[in-house]
């Protein structure tokens, strides 16, 4: 691949703040039938969107930057198409809001989906989770991808080459030198980058992370936040194998997906660069501890292959 072919992520988005009173005015002006419902911020509502509860049964998602707003029309077009074909609930838009009241982007109203965000400790049945995640990914990949959205700024180039993130990975490795086995991590990264995709487009979620998996009594209930979805190389959806699964359930996950070595390597690369960046930039002890756990899973999985 030529350097000129590598996508440019550009500068970091300039995020904006969104307040409750501003959102209340937006709802009252554009959806007066819901004006009497309370608007309550959602704790840990995400980075790409500012999230609010609307009454007991609805959710408001307002993009926090112009780049994230690019996903709104995509979600309204494609989530109603994908939802009936998937084995677990996903969000389906109820209505689309427009700019107003000083807020500059389109925004969305969704039905609220109950569930507890996943965590390593909260999973009740690792083998069951591995099977359920693999079934979801297989169903998603089985949907016709011919007209789906190609990688771009709308999903931060999920589905594109890992070389897009080479600078992020190498800067994080430099920052972490002396704190991790950076030579082995670099070997894993270069192995992933060199593992080529066959070029057959498939649908992917793009961010199968703990916070986007909802559990009910410790088992997978729903998958949310499709802002990074698209079609292309689906290896990005494999990162969850190292961030949430155990070695035993990870092997079952891979077997159920029948994933070949090259795609598995790229999936490991997705997990690696995201973990390195998180570890290098965090000042939170809990986040750092989780990054060390995931990094150990990645290094061990590679050396044991």
pLDDT in tens, 176-204: 999 999 999 999 999 999 999 999 999 99
Tens digit of each residue's pLDDT (9 = 90 or more) over 283-292: 999 999 999 9
- Provide the residue range defining the domain that includes 87: 20-112
Q: Please indicate, yes or no, whether residues 158 and 213 belong to a single structural domain of this protein.
A: yes
Q: Please indicate, yes or no, whether residues 81 and 189 belong to a single structural domain of this protein.
A: no
**Residue 3 pLDDT:** 43
Let me know if residue 30 belongs to a domain: yes
Q: How far, in Å, CA of 164 to CA of 157, rounded?
A: 8
**Residue 193 pLDDT:** 97
Question: What does the DSSP 8-state code read for residue 260?
Answer: -
Does the pLDDT at position 237 exceed 90? yes
Backbone angles phi, psi at 115, to 5 degrees: 150, 160
Q: Please indicate, yes or no, whether residues 272 and 158 belong to a single structural domain of this protein.
A: yes
Identify the CA nearest to 181 among candidates 299, 291, 101, 304: 299
End position of a domain, from candidates 78, 112, 146? 112
φ/ψ region of 75 (left if φ > 0, alpha if ψ in -120 to 50, else beta) reads: alpha
Let me know if residue 147 belongs to a domain: yes
**Residue 10 pLDDT:** 64
Question: What does the DSSP 8-state code read for residue 180?
Answer: B
Let me know if residue 192 belongs to a domain: yes
Tokens 């959602």 correspond to what residue?
Answer: 42
Tokens 């077997």 correspond to what residue?
Answer: 255
Task: Look at the chain and report how many structural domains it folds into.
Answer: 2
Let me know if residue 15 belongs to a domain: no
pLDDT-based confidence at residue 47 (cuts at 50, 70, 90):
confident
Across the beta sheet with 93-97, the strand order is 39-41, 49-54, 58-63, 107-111, 93-97
Beta bridge partners of residue 103, listed in sequence order: 100
Q: How far, in Å, CA of 215 to CA of 35, rounded?
A: 31
End position of a domain, from candidates 80, 112, 144? 112
**Residue 178 pLDDT:** 95
Structural tokens at position 223: 């998958």
Question: What's the CA angle centered on 245, arms 270 and 209, to 5 degrees?
Answer: 50
Q: Please indicate, yes or no, whether residues 108 and 27 belong to a single structural domain of this protein.
A: yes
* pTM, rounded to two decimals: 0.94
Structural tokens at position 3: 């350097």
For the chain, how big is the Rg over CA atoms in Å? 19
Q: Please indicate, yes or no, whether residues 153 and 248 belong to a single structural domain of this protein.
A: yes
Does the pLDDT at position 266 exceed 90? yes
Please answer whether residues 265 and 298 qualify as being in contact, where contact means their C-beta atoms are separated by less than 8 angstroms: no
Tokens 């030198």 correspond to what residue?
Answer: 177
Dmax over Cα atoms in the chain, in whole Å? Answer: 59
Element spanning 110, H or E: strand 107-111
**Residue 11 pLDDT:** 66
Q: How far, in Å, CA of 265 to CA of 249, rounded?
A: 17
C-alpha distance from residue 85 to each of 78, 110, 244, 258 (Å): 12, 19, 25, 21
C-alpha distance from residue 9 to each of 156, 167, 168 (Å): 7, 11, 11
Let me know if residue 163 belongs to a domain: yes
């Amino acid at each position: 691949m030529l350097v000129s072919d590598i996508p440019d992520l550009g500068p970091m988005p300039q995020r904006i703040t969104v307040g409750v009173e501003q959102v209340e005015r937006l709802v009252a002006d554009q959806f007066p039938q819901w004006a009497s419902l309370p608007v309550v911020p959602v704790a840990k509502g995400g980075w790409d969107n500012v999230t609010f509860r609307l009454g007991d049964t609805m959710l408001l998602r307002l993009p926090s930057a112009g780049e994230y707003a690019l996903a709104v029309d995509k979600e309204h077009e494609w989530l109603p198409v994908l939802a009936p074909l998937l084995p677990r609930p996903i969000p389906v838009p109820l209505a689309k809001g427009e700019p107003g009241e000083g807020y500059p982007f389109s925004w969305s109203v969704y039905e609220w989906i109950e569930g507890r965000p996943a965590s390593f400790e909260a999973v009740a049945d690792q083998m069951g989770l591995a099977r359920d995640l693999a079934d979801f990914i297989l169903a998603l990949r089985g949907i016709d991808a011919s007209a789906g959205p190609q990688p771009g700024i709308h999903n931060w180039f999920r589905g594109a080459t890992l070389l897009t993130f080479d600078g992020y990975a190498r800067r994080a490795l430099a920052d972490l030198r002396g704190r991790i086995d950076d030579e082995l991590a670099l070997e894993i990264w270069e192995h992933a980058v060199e593992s080529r995709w066959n070029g057959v487009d498939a649908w992917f979620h793009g961010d199968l992370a703990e916070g986007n998996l909802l559990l009910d009594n410790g088992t997978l209930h729903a998958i949310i936040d499709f802002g990074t979805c698209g079609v292309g190389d689906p290896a990005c959806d494999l990162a969850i194998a190292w961030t949430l699964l155990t070695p035993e359930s990870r092997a079952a996950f891979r077997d159920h997906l029948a994933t070949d070595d090259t795609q598995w390597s790229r999936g490991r690369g997705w997990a690696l660069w995201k973990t390195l960046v998180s570890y290098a930039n965090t000042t939170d002890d809990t986040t750092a501890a989780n990054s060390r756990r995931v990094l150990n899973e990645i290094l061990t999985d590679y050396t044991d292959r």
